[in-house]
Amino acid sequence: MSKVKKVLAAVIAASVAASMAVGATGCQKVDTASSTGGAGDTGSAAASGTSTGNISGELKLAVFKGGYGDQVWKDIAAKFEEKYPNVKVSITSDPNLGDVIRPKIINNDAPDLIYLASTNKSGLMQSLISDKQLVDVSDVFEDGLKDKLIDGVLDGPTYQPYGDGKIYAAPLFYSVNGIWYDANLFEKNGWSVPKTWDEAFAVADKAKQQGIAMYTYAAANAPAYNENVVWPMIAAIGGEQKLDDIFNYKAGAWNDQAVTDTLNIFKKIGDGGYLLDGTMGMTHTQSQQQWLQDKALFIPNGAWIQNEMKDSPRADGFKFAMMPTPATKEGQKQAVWSQTEEMYIPTKAKNIDAAKAFMKFLYEDDIVKMMAKASNSLPPLKNGPELVKGLVDDATYSSMEIGASSDYIQVSGGFANTQSTNINIRQDFFKGIGDILNKKTTPAELQKKLEDESQQLAKLVTTTTSSDASASSN
């Protein structure tokens, strides 16, 4: 996890929202055999990640096709061809991109650059990490580009999975997620935005008198949306190291008081009748629709929610607004959850030079603006807000304001990669939170279950030495 106080946030594309419930363990692997720059080919440009400087030939892109379509990628490709007239760009775009390109990678017909989030249900990036099939792209961030990115964003295990100081992926989109509310509802009732959970429950008691519940979420199909609440809470209560310990399966991590205090908030929501009736059977769009109609005060989500629900009915005067997760006590610094979507180059790519040039091209101001206007998304650039002002929606800008403030802790991360296993600790955690809300289990029972699973996973962690990583170009 990047231990950073990031200075900006933007929006993540809606595609990651659908895959948030998928864990990092138990990923399907891809074939490790390679005839071009494979794991054992230490002398090639593919294996070393070095560039020859020859930007020409065919550049094959494979990009996730989200709600905004793929026209913007075609437009960006045309701009790239103008800059590099000896390059011809071809694009593969599909909502099920991982399933489409996995057999191509196996059959030595890999794309040169892939944009598909590490959280995607296909598990493609995690497989490429495990199988040592990603190119070192550290040189992309030379010449000042790294300094333009939000501090620390490249430091986490997603980007440096082997601890060798080398970078194997680049962040294309970045978001700060949290708890969303209707600012107009708060304004017209004279309610202050809560900074602590005591204040949140006090507002909820007032709202209950108007028939408004406190909380709802996508319990039926995306319960992991609650990560926008629980991970920041654990970090705020116990420090970011506590979250690192959980993600790295450290013994005793799930029994920590920070986890207990976090789960007790959900117990109070369930026991106190603060959960919107019917939530446990609601999908993400159903819960979001109820929230838009002021049936519930709060919903955990990302800034994609405004675009995702743009055609849905809502309460009169509804205003999208986001707040950090409330603190459990006065004086405790609040925290928010940040996420990225990644792009990367497989070692079987045949045009690594052009792929690296295109990767860097996506951070240029004009291209960032083009992508923001089309997708409501942007990379983790320090000057992101000024670049996209007026090009993104209100929800996105609300999250950006939170991300731009040094008043809050920005936390991110994910479970350490393991060998293939049937254990999905992430899935079990968020299902367990639903069981607490539904009074089917207790915090203590869930913590015991997760601690047991964690220690089983600790024995399956994928480890790679620095020399192994260097030799494999992953």
First to last CA, the chain: 19
The pLDDT of residue 414 is: 83
For residue 214, give the nearest of 326, 292, 286, 298 by alpha carbon.
Answer: 298
Q: Is there a contact between 259 and 231 (Cβ–Cβ < 8 Å)? A: no
Cα–Cα dist 9/32, whole Å: 36
Predicted local confidence at residue 171, as pLDDT: 96
Q: What is the pLDDT along the chain (474 residues), one digit of tens a residue?
A: 443 333 333 333 333 333 333 333 223 223 322 222 333 333 333 344 444 468 999 999 999 998 788 999 999 999 999 999 999 999 999 999 999 999 999 999 999 999 999 989 899 998 999 899 999 999 999 999 999 998 878 987 889 988 899 999 999 998 889 999 999 999 999 999 999 999 999 999 999 999 999 999 999 999 999 999 999 999 999 999 999 999 999 999 999 999 999 999 999 999 999 999 999 999 999 999 999 999 999 999 998 898 889 999 999 999 999 999 999 999 999 999 988 899 999 999 999 999 999 999 999 999 999 999 998 888 988 888 888 989 998 888 778 778 767 789 888 888 887 888 999 999 999 999 999 999 999 999 999 999 999 999 999 987 543 333 332 333
Residue 404 has a pLDDT of: 65
Q: Using a cut of 0.85, tell me whether the model's pTM lies above it.
A: no
Q: What is the pLDDT of residue 405?
A: 74
| Ordered DSSP codes for 353-375 | HHHHHHHHHTTSHHHHHHHHHHH
For residue 52, what are the contacts with CB-CB under 8 A and spacing of at least 6? 45, 353
pLDDT at 12: 31
Residue 163, sorted as left (phi over 0), alpha (psi -120 to 50) or beta, turns out to be left
Q: What is the dihedral of CA 261, 271, 423, 452, to 10 degrees?
A: 50
pLDDT recorded at residue 338: 87
How far is the C-alpha of 113 from the C-alpha of 406, rounded, in Å?
Answer: 34
DSSP 62-130: EEE--TT-SHHHHHHHHHHHHHSTTEEEEEEEETTHHHHHHHHHHTT---SEEE--TTSTT-HHHHHHH
pLDDT at 463: 57
Helix (H, G, I), strand (E, B) or coil at 339: strand
Cβ–Cβ contacts within 10 Å for residue 244, how many?
18
Tell me if residue 44 falls in helix, strand or coil: coil
pLDDT of residue 413: 82
Which secondary structure element, helix H or strand E, spans residue 453, and what is its range?
A: helix 443-458
Among 235, 426, 304, smallest CA distance to 16 is for 304
Tokens of 78: 């045309």
The gap from C-alpha 453 to its chain's centroid, in whole angstroms, comes to 23
Pair type for strands 335-344 and 113-115 = antiparallel
The pair of structure tokens assigned to 237 is: 């209560």
